Amino acid sequence: MNVPQGFQLAGVTAGVKRSGRPDLGVIYSPAPLAWAYSATQNAAAAPCVARDRSLAAAGGPVRAVIVNSGNANCANGAQGVSDDVAFAAAAANALGLAGPEEVVSASTGVIGHKMPLQALVAAMPRLAAERSADADGFSKAILTTDLAPKVATASMASGARVLGVAKGSGMIHPNMATMFAFVMTDAQVDQETLRPMWQRVVERTFNQLTVDGDTSTNDMAVALSSNLVPTDADEVELVLGNVATELAKQIARDGEGATKLITVRVTGARTDVEARHAARTVAGSSLVKTAVHGADPNWGRILAAAGRSDVAMDMARAVVIAQGTELYRGQPLEYDARAVSNALRTADVLLEVDLGVGTAEGTAWGCDLTEGYVRINADYTT
Amino acid sequence: MNVPQGFQLAGVTAGVKRSGRPDLGVIYSPAPLAWAYSATQNAAAAPCVARDRSLAAAGGPVRAVIVNSGNANCANGAQGVSDDVAFAAAAANALGLAGPEEVVSASTGVIGHKMPLQALVAAMPRLAAERSADADGFSKAILTTDLAPKVATASMASGARVLGVAKGSGMIHPNMATMFAFVMTDAQVDQETLRPMWQRVVERTFNQLTVDGDTSTNDMAVALSSNLVPTDADEVELVLGNVATELAKQIARDGEGATKLITVRVTGARTDVEARHAARTVAGSSLVKTAVHGADPNWGRILAAAGRSDVAMDMARAVVIAQGTELYRGQPLEYDARAVSNALRTADVLLEVDLGVGTAEGTAWGCDLTEGYVRINADYTT
């Protein structure tokens, strides 16, 4: 796997997950990394989110990211807060770093259960010893309910590389299956440039992803740069965006019970923010999601969803297109319903909506809503 | 049925619905009615919504409400706009009124199909002739996908009465099954008092209702007063609120595929608005809805939903209670999971969340998310 220069990754089994699958991973750099952090605004956020956010605000570089899966260390009261610091401190110790202030921590898994520190700390030496240029172990160690690792890579004209590793699915009881995205690059980009850049990328990629509308308590997207290959800033942003987009789509495809990726492209909006908001609302609408599942070209539901997103929209000029066929243009259109329905019987669905009030655009990704989703999430045994 | 003084209702079959069920209804008053109007903010709103809103803004009284079911007259372009005026004008004519400016219009049903004006106009004389103090016909004529009429009545100490009639279910293709609520009273309350009063009532009742998160293009809640019985304004507001609450709960219980009514009560919020918003977010969370369906006391999902509602919340002081059993109080609590799960195997579920940052309160209503919902809404045949 194409790990950018300056990064070493590893993933081991600490024995936290009963399945015996890998559950402790690390991203390490021998030199300071420029980094940018974006995480859930959920008020019930886990301690790692709050600590990482403070760390980012402090402005210094970091040297590592330590990740455990199988326990979200969320809603554990004061104990959870100190356990998160101890987790990062143990990683720093094992990696020969100064302290937890050089380590970004990330936990995902069961909530309300005490962090299994002993097992994690015991596995740290093994983790440190396994550091390499292979991202495979790390990509597996961060998973909880995902069906498969999510990885995306890209190269730039400068020769700089990008590696993105993500996880994310729905929230199966008792887990708070979280969205993580760790995007590494060796392109040269200082922290002051990287931070607003990453914010822009996250806003139009991970923040445009909706699987079931529920934002987890541990969601985070982290960008890291080892700053080795001179590259044009615009190209860095473009390629980071491509990798983030690819990861967002992989996460959407892997949504619980999902059988189809839904891409919603909004045009003709008043502002980019409105376009993105409308796209996300359409992609997250239960009625649109079920219609897509049933291969129903229900433009009415699409319009209603766009309409309730609270953005400017002109019904007399709006356009709705499903899989390339226009269904509505200021008024209902005649179309071959059977043909469009057949076109919707596929794993990749594109819905396009023009709001008719401007030129701004935005895209969102989601998945269909199926009986499988309900079965997975309603399944409970005491 | 307890129709307040000064109101006459009727419902007939105009033949718009293929089922032959009643599809044209009227509320009529021999004297001017004080009224208040609240409707969807959806940008794709049907012409009747826009026209009624303008009428309300004009400030005058009305004499009737004309309702048709089976056709929402939505997304029909310019034709739809003029058809709505013609619909109201035809009703005015049949009822001996001055013109459409005295008539509130409401349509619900299929979208994108031309309004069947001819059939509706032809049925108007029969509708006018059937006016009576019986609300049964009207309550049936406004239904689309509902399983049963939704009616609630109440009396005040003054002897004034309230009758509320509603409809609302999910949005079954190709309908945009809409929420309608028509609440009539003979309590004396002038329009200047009624309007802000109704806004307050709607904000804490119909606006706190979430079946599947999708706001229809035709949703409206209308209050009408024949102004006959002197009553204390506070009592009017209280009782209107009780009737609206009862109707909102009936609508939630009748949600597509629903097996349980979910009431979410939020306390300890910073403001009433935040409390209501948090309650609505919890009640509308797919993960909470599926958990309730599976009788899973998943407090984590409840906290996560409250947390993402963007209101002030203190995890160290928050409390989560399901069917009267505390599950979380600043940290996870021990509880009899089997007993709580059993308590959730009922058609009435109460979830309580204290946000720990204030004293404001708010309530929302919703229903569980089931495979039935998906089947109903994904079902499509060309």
Q: What is the dihedral of CA B266, B267, B273, B276, to 10 degrees?
A: 10
Q: How far is CA B70 from the centre of its chain?
A: 18
Q: What is the pLDDT of residue B19?
A: 87
Token pair, residue B58, equals: 């004009």
A81 touches chain B (CB under 8 A): no
Res. A136: pLDDT tops 90: yes
Which superfamily, per CATH, for A261-378? ArgJ beta chain, C-terminal domain (3.10.20.340)
Of B176, B316, B330, the CB nearest to A304: B176
Which of B74, B81, B173 would you mutate first to test chain A, the one with the most A CBs within 10 A? B173
Percent above pLDDT 90 for chain B = 79
B15 in contact with chain A, both atoms CB, cutoff 8 A: no
ipTM field: 0.79
**CA-to-CA distance for A327 and A306, rounded, in angstroms?**
15
pTM strictly above 0.80: yes
Is the pLDDT confidence value at A324 over 80?
yes
pLDDT, one tens digit per residue, over B127-176 is 999 999 999 999 999 998 777 899 999 999 999 999 999 998 654 433 44
To test the contact with chain A by mutation, choose from B40, B310, B382 the residue with the greatest count of A C-beta atoms within 10 A, namely B382
CB pairs under 8 A between A and B: 217
Q: What confidence tier does B40 reach under pLDDT thresholds 50, 70, 90?
A: confident
- Show which of residues 274-303 on chain B sit within 8 Å of chain A, judged by CB atoms: 285-287, 290-291, 293-296, 298-301, 303
Task: Give pLDDT, residue A178.
Answer: 80
Q: Which of B107, B308, B319 to mutate to test the interface with A (most CBs of A within 10 A)?
A: B308
pLDDT confidence bin for B1, thresholds 50/70/90: low
3-state DSSP assignment of residue A99: coil
- Chain B residues inside the 8 Å CB shell of A300: 74-75, 111-112, 174, 176, 217
Q: Is the pLDDT of residue B61 over 80?
A: yes
CB atoms within 10 A of CB A379: 14
Q: Supply the DSSP string of B99-166, one letter for each residue.
A: -GGGEEEEEEEESSS---HHHHHHHHHHHHHT-BS--HHHHHHT-SS-SS-EEEEEE-TTS-EEEEEE
User: What is the per-residue pLDDT across A66-101, written as a single tens digit (0 to 9) for each?
Assistant: 999 999 999 998 999 999 999 999 999 999 999 999
| B120, B86 Cβ separation under 8 angstroms | no
More confident residue, B1 or A72: A72
Q: Which of residues 35-74 of B touch A (CB under 8 A)?
A: 40-45, 74
**pLDDT: which is higher, A366 or B147:** A366
CATH 3.60.70.12 boundaries in chain B:
8-253
β-sheet bridge partners, residue A38:
A221
Interface of A with B in 308-327 (CB under 8 A): 308-313, 315-316, 318
Query: Where does chain A hold its CATH 3.10.20.340 domain(s)?
Result: 261-378
Which residue in chain A has the smallest CA separation from B371?
A: A371
Residue type at position A274? E
B113 CB neighbours in chain A (<8 A) are: 332
- Check B377 against A286: CB less than 8 A apart: yes
What residues of A are in contact with residue B338 (Cβ under 8 Å)? 382
Cβ atoms of residues A35 and A190 within 8 Å: no
Selecting from A171, A306, A379 the residue whose C-beta is nearest the C-beta of B294 gives: A379
Q: By the 8 A CB rule, do A353 and A265 touch?
A: yes
* Residue B29 to residue B366: CA distance in whole angstroms: 34
Q: Higher pLDDT residue, A172 or A190?
A: A190
**B8-253: CATH topology:** L-amino peptidase D-ALA esterase/amidase (3.60.70)
